[in-house]
Chain A
């Protein structure tokens, strides 16, 4: 940091030798192998270009060197060398820069600066070509129908994928930089005439205030700088790897944060119910979408409250009405039920974590171990009662049904809390746990948006849109929670009548 401030005013030296010694001192061109340079003699003047191997297209570099060298055969005006070189840099993006600091930044992002003896600025060519993959369907958000492209690690490709869906002149992609050392590109996307100015200003201010070395964990780190409740397990921003989902939110008036090196796009502000949404609903008939949504609500509720409720019925069977008296283990197990549940839950966590980084060939073996060993044999041995396995499984499947991975993990923490309260205090513990789970959700705020909106605070119209998957022709309003400047996303039927 101090280095940078000292050299801030350093201009491009006229002599190539000085440029080279600057580069040697600051970039360690003699130590680092990935920063290369090529010196040429053009019209009896030294010309030097720097590049970072791997970040730029070497065929284009060769093409440029070739045309530069050919100058020697056809030109003879050594005084106008700067003009001649600029003309001969055959590329559409050529800029001049005269601050060494800026040039180094550009060089390290994959651009190539060309220095010419006696010229007080460098020509910078944007020929960067980052290593990366082509868009493919994101694993976590698969759909039966619908587009199969997903965001990649390149910010430019990501903004392009969004732009392909919204060719609006009012779509703004504002680029900023984070990280003193990493200099990561961050892009805020929003519809200029829809998104709330206050939110945009807030996001920009938050970003400009981040002063950190680097953000290798990209979006997650940014999120931690953004949210106020830093220890809260619940996700206050929504991630997506699907450009169609991102475009839908943009049109609804949300902001997108695209961070270079991460395929997960941040959508903000988001509420609990945004996390319950899945692209699949919008790819099916509205009635089917509604059905899917209800089943999903049920699954998420089960993942939160089913296990504690069942534990409560085991502890206190008098709570059960006559019709449901069969619930609960028939015989007393060897291990207390709460211990069984916790063990089984931890076992499921073992499996889940193992599954994430198990290579595919081993996954089958792991599945076998999971199903046969842990399920069957734990029951046979007398460690678990079969009902524990049943309810733990339902609650686990429920958490897998949750569309947002972050939300499912947060729900798991909440479930554990309610479980332990229930184990200690029975019905009283369950009631209090239930209240805590709701109140903590209500108390969170994603910027201005109460987290459990539109349930608490209640908003009838918005709630209908969350409970039902309303046909798109009938949803001509943007959600008020993002405070859109333009409320209507389709013509207002009332003004049309007039």
Chain B
């Protein structure tokens, strides 16, 4: 077997696990975005994702139609791919579910403390009810858990496969 350089191994890692991370990010975004929508519908939270990704730049009539919700979910999905890549780049080696949850919490804090102040029509952290804070924080910790733990687990499985099979590229189904 040809000796593989560090660089080559990195590219193998890049291709399959990164693809997996993107997939996880997108589906995680859509799924937990949907959960967020349900929470918003039942008034667990006063703020919705729509306020951030749609109403922050347009308030045309179509944003109040039913299909705008689907567009919101797709946008969150795409944004979550970025979230997943970020996790992949920084934290993929930590195979712990708590880290994923904390990652979600940090994202929440970023949105609440850094992003929100830019938009005047979205209420600030201080103006929010306690139940909104707790329920959105819960949502984000589960969202972070979903993305973080999945990426870390895939990476750990990949490493294990690599160790056992001496750097062969695993197929889509072996990990």
Contacts and interface: CB of A to CB of B under 8 A. Distances in A.
Interface of A: 318-321, 426-428, 431-432, 434-435, 438-439, 442-443, 450, 456-461, 477, 480, 487
B147 to A, nearest CB: 8
12 contacts: A318-B43, A319-B43, A319-B44, A431-B134, A438-B142, A457-B149, A460-B23, A460-B24, A461-B172, A480-B157, A480-B173, A487-B171
Contacts of B41: 321
Interface string B140-175: 011001100110111001000000000000011111
A457 B150 contact: yes
Contact of A427 (B23, B44, B150, B171): B44
Given A431-B139, A460-B20, A460-B27, 13 more contacts: A320-B43, A428-B135, A431-B44, A432-B134, A434-B138, A438-B142, A442-B145, A456-B145, A456-B150, A458-B23, A459-B150, A461-B173, A480-B173
A428 B44 CA distance: 9
Interface residues of B, number: 32
B140 to A, nearest CB: 10
A458 B27 CA distance: 9
Given A442-B97, A460-B23, A477 B173 contact: yes
A435 B97 contact: no
Interface string B10-53: 00000000001001100110000000000001111000000000
B101 interface: yes
B135 A442 contact: no
Given A428-B134, A461-B172, A456 B44 contact: no
B2 interface: no
Interface of B: 20, 23-24, 27-28, 41-44, 97, 101, 130-131, 134-135, 138-139, 141-142, 145-146, 149-150, 152-154, 157, 171-175
Nearest to A454: B150
Contacts of B135: 427-428, 431
- In the A-B complex, the 3 residue pairs with the closest CB atoms: A457-B153, A458-B150, A457-B150
Contacts of B27: 458, 460
Contacts of A438: 142, 145
Q: Which of B28, B44, B152 has the most CB atoms of chain A within a 10 A radius of its CB?
A: B44
A428 B131 contact: yes
A439 B97 contact: yes
Contacts of A459: 150
Given A458-B27, A477-B173, A435 B141 contact: yes
Contacts of A318: 43
Would you call the interface of chain A mostly helix, strand, loop, or mixed? Answer: helix
Contacts of A428: 130-131, 134-135
B139 to A, nearest CB: 8
A442 B149 contact: yes
A339 B171 CA distance: 54
A79 to B, nearest CB: 62
Contacts of A460: 20, 23-24, 27
B172 A435 contact: no
Contacts of B23: 458, 460
Given A480-B175, A487-B174, A457 B43 contact: no
Contacts of B20: 460
A352 to B, nearest CB: 31
B146 A432 contact: no
A312 B131 CA distance: 12
A426 B20 CA distance: 38
Nearest to A458: B150
Contacts of A450: 149, 153
Contacts of B154: 457
Contacts of B152: 457
B97 A443 contact: yes
Nearest to B154: A457
Nearest to B146: A456
Interface centre among B41, B130, B138, B153 (most CB of A within 10 A): B138
A321 B40 CA distance: 10
Contacts of B146: 456, 458
A458 B24 contact: yes
A51 B16 CA distance: 64
A426 B131 contact: yes
B22 to A, nearest CB: 10
Given A321-B43, A458-B146, A439 B101 contact: yes
A321 B41 CA distance: 7
A50 to B, nearest CB: 52
A327 to B, nearest CB: 11
A435 B101 CA distance: 10
Given A457-B153, A480-B175, A432 B138 contact: yes
A140 B72 CA distance: 44
Contacts of B134: 427-428, 431-432
B79 to A, nearest CB: 17
A435 B138 contact: yes
Nearest to A453: B153
A415 B141 CA distance: 21
B172 to A, nearest CB: 7
A193 to B, nearest CB: 15
A321 B141 contact: no
Contacts of A431: 44, 131, 134-135, 138-139
Nearest to A428: B134
A459 B153 CA distance: 10
A312 to B, nearest CB: 9
A448 B77 CA distance: 30
A483 to B, nearest CB: 8
A404 B27 CA distance: 28
Contacts of B149: 442, 450, 456-457
Contacts of B150: 456-459
Contacts of A439: 97, 101, 142, 145
Nearest to B130: A428
Nearest to A479: B173
